[in-house]
């Protein structure tokens, strides 16, 4: 547990004392720390004091914040750092700026002109609901004849490729069956260029593995953006394998970025389930599947550590590949699909659990959520976990369900009973909420990306973005959790609205809890890691519609000021 300030604290000289601040500590009940404070002191990488005054402490530097708000650094519990960093160098196909397929064609033509003839023209972030359909091979051929083009959907769950790429894959004239995915064909059986879900793996021999230094560069670019947005911790939702991974040696890229001083935020890495295999320990160990050397969740340190295993059970809601119990409202006869045989998926989850991993399973449709809850129940019933993470006794492994996109009321209750942590994304409502409502119809729309009902059920919910699927700024995510307005201005799930304080707690304490690290971060108290964000305004005191306008003016990670918008926290 966090260390309490002892009797000798007054004699201590802190490194940095921030005074005249409006501090929201987010401290949990029972911590002995008040919800609000005025002064916070940092020594090394830790908070050593927070309170209404300085308690007699002296410091090497004292900075008055002139009433600015201080919160624990934001912690994005599900995002894709290398994917986002790389996307900064690709064509931005999101809307805006793209209004229609003509805009996409123009952007491809412009990129083709500046890309070597044998190079890839790569774009990301398109949403067919907003631009009038998926781009197809014929559109690409018209503006970039003979070129290799790859455009990835905003969800990451599908991509379209050009005729040249289809030819390299042997898909120029006809499709093929891919388990857990689809090579989409037209009425004549000719591939359109659209590759859904696991069919994207066909591209791997052409596109993967990426060089480690390229991945490290992307991680560094993402880190630069994150610290400006008050982010101090992130969970990377899938490395090492599958269509989400970029290299089998991807962890090395994060280590290199850290060694080079390019990693300013703390990272927990989820490991793609594809890379797990039998471990070969002694029979008495009774292990399931894992990675070489028996490394598992928790290995590493406060900067870089292994998180859960990432399992994909289904696909995308707006892309209609999420596995539903009944048809999508706007697509009769379509109810999505699982990414593997149901029993094989459950076995993957249980095998990882047995080896000591926490498991984070992507499940968006209610049919997928049923399957994952069943598997998690098997885990705790057949292989109870004891004495984990420094705690003793029988304990919930806090297995996660990523997205928890369409959850019936009984599924919310069951997740709470099993100690499962759902990981929904608030910003999805603002950017793709209208597409969700069309796909789900009016009744099921109330089950989409729930939040308030999870809190009511007693669940500690993290805050996350799934960046680059949507804009990942934490204040924007908090805004959307509170307002729940879609792009067209309608409220999606009025019963799921939360308060600014609840949304802020999700992005701080909730995410720390989801990483089993609430003993050391996610709140401001003596002994916690000195990770802070300084905001222009108090999120609990502004008009909720103005939450996204709050500026991050400084960011502190491990006691170091990694971002300062000119308010004088950094000592230059």
| Interacting residues toward Zn ion by CB under 5 A | 237, 466
Q: Measured from the CB atom, is 2 or 81 closer to Zn ion?
A: 81
Q: Report the relative pairing of strands 400-403 and 359-363 from DSSP bridges.
A: parallel
* Dist. CA 516–CA 25, nearest whole Å: 19
The neighbour count for residue 393, using CB atoms within 10 Å, is 8
Q: Measured from the CB atom, is 466 or 518 closer to Zn ion?
A: 466
**Residue 159: CB minimum distance to Zn ion, A:** 15
Question: Could you tell me the strand order of the sheet in which 181-185 lies?
Answer: 91-92, 120-126, 148-153, 158-161, 191-197, 181-185, 177-178
**Residue 331: CB minimum distance to Zn ion, A:** 23
**Residue 297: CB minimum distance to Zn ion, A:** 18
The neighbour count for residue 226, using CB atoms within 10 Å, is 32
Q: Measured from the CB atom, is 237 or 338 closer to Zn ion?
A: 237
Task: Classify burial at 60, counting beta carbons within 10 Å of its beta carbon; exposed 0-12, middle 13-18, buried 19 or more.
Answer: exposed
Task: Specify whether the CB–CB gap between 100 and 128 falls below 8 A.
Answer: no
**Residue 478: CB minimum distance to Zn ion, A:** 19
**Residue 317: CB minimum distance to Zn ion, A:** 13
**Residue 467: CB minimum distance to Zn ion, A:** 9
* Dist. CA 13–CA 48, nearest whole Å: 10
The neighbour count for residue 335, using CB atoms within 10 Å, is 17
Q: Measured from the CB atom, is 46 or 80 closer to Zn ion?
A: 80
Rounded to 5 degrees, what angle do the CA atoms 201, 206, 211 make? 100
Q: What is the DSSP string of 30-97?
A: TSS--SEESEEEEETTEEEEEESS-TT-EEEEEEE-TT-EEEEPEEEEEE-HHHHHHHTTSEE-STTT
**Residue 404: CB minimum distance to Zn ion, A:** 13
β strands within 118-216, DSSP E: 120-126, 148-153, 158-161, 177-178, 181-185, 191-197
DSSP 249: T
Q: Measured from the CB atom, is 237 or 482 closer to Zn ion?
A: 237
**Residue 402: CB minimum distance to Zn ion, A:** 6
Q: Measured from the CB atom, is 148 or 467 closer to Zn ion?
A: 467
Largest CA distance in the chain: 81
Q: Measured from the CB atom, is 354 or 399 closer to Zn ion?
A: 399
**Residue 209: CB minimum distance to Zn ion, A:** 20
Q: Measured from the CB atom, is 95 or 316 closer to Zn ion?
A: 316
Q: Measured from the CB atom, is 65 or 470 closer to Zn ion?
A: 470
Task: Specify whether the CB–CB gap between 231 and 219 falls below 8 A.
Answer: no
């Amino acid at each position: 547990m966090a260390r309490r300030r002892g009797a000798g604290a007054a004699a201590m000289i802190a490194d940095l004392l921030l005074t005249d601040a409006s501090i929201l500590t987010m401290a949990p009940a029972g911590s002995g720390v008040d919800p609000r404070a005025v002064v916070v002191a940092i020594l090394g990488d830790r908070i050593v004091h927070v309170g209404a005054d300085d308690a007699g402490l002296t410091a090497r530097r004292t900075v008055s914040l002139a009433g600015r708000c201080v919160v624990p650094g934001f912690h994005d519990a599900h995002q894709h750092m290398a994917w986002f960093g790389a996307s900064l160098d690709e064509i931005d196909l999101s809307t805006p700026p793209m209004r229609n397929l003509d805009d996409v064609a123009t952007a491809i033509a412009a990129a083709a002109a500046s890309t070597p003839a044998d190079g890839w023209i790569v774009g990301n972030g398109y949403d067919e609901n907003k631009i009038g359909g998926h781009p197809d091979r014929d559109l690409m051929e018209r503006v970039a004849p003979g070129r290799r083009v790859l455009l990835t959907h905003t969800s990451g769950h599908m991509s379209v490729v050009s005729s040249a790429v289809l030819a390299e894959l042997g898909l120029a004239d006809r499709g093929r069956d891919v388990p857990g995915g689809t090579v989409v064909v037209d009425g004549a059986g000719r591939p359109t260029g659209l590759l859904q879900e696991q069919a994207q793996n066909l591209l791997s021999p052409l596109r993967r593995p990426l060089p480690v230094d390229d991945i490290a560069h992307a991680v560094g670019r993402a880190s630069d953006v994150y610290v400006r947005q008050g982010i101090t911790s992130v969970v990377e939702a899938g490395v090492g394998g599958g269509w989400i991974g970029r290299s089998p040696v991807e962890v090395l890229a994060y280590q290199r970025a850290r060694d080079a001083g390019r990693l300013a935020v703390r990272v927990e890495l989820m490991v793609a389930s594809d890379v797990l295999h039998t471990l070969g320990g002694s029979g008495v160990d009774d292990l399931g599947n894992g990675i070489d050397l028996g490394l598992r969740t928790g290995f590493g340190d406060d900067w870089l550590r292994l998180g859960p295993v990432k399992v994909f059970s289904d696909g995308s809601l707006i892309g209609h590949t999420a596995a539903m119990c009944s048809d999508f409202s706007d697509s009769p006869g379509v109810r999505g699909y699982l990414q593997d045989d149901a029993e094989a998926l459950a076995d993957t989850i249980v095998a990882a659990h047995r080896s000591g991993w926490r498991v984070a399973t992507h499940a968006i449709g209610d049919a997928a959520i049923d399957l994952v809850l069943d598997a998690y129940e098997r885990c705790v019933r057949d292989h109870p976990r004891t004495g984990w993470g420094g705690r003793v006794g029988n304990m919930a492994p806090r297995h996660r369900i990523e997205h928890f996109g369409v959850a019936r009321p009984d599924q919310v209750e069951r997740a709470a009973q099993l100690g499962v942590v759902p990981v929904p994304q608030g910003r999805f409502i603002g950017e793709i909420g209208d597409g969700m409502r069309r796909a789900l119809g009016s009744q099921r729309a109330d089950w989409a990306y729930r939040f308030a009902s999870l809190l009511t059920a007693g669940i500690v919910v993290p805050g996350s973005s799934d960046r680059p699927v949507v804009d990942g700024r934490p204040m924007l995510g908090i805004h959307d959790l509170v307002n729940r307005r879609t792009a067209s201005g309608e409220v999606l799930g009025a019963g799921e609205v939360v308060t600014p304080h609840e949304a802020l707690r999700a992005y701080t304490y909730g995410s720390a809890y989801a990483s089993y690290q609430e003993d050391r971060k996610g709140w401001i108290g003596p002994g916690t890691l000195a990770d802070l964000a300084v905001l222009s305004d108090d999120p609990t005191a502004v008009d909720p519609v103005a939450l996204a306008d709050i500026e991050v003016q400084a960011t502190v990670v491990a006691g170091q000021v990694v971002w300062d918008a000119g308010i004088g926290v950094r000592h230059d």
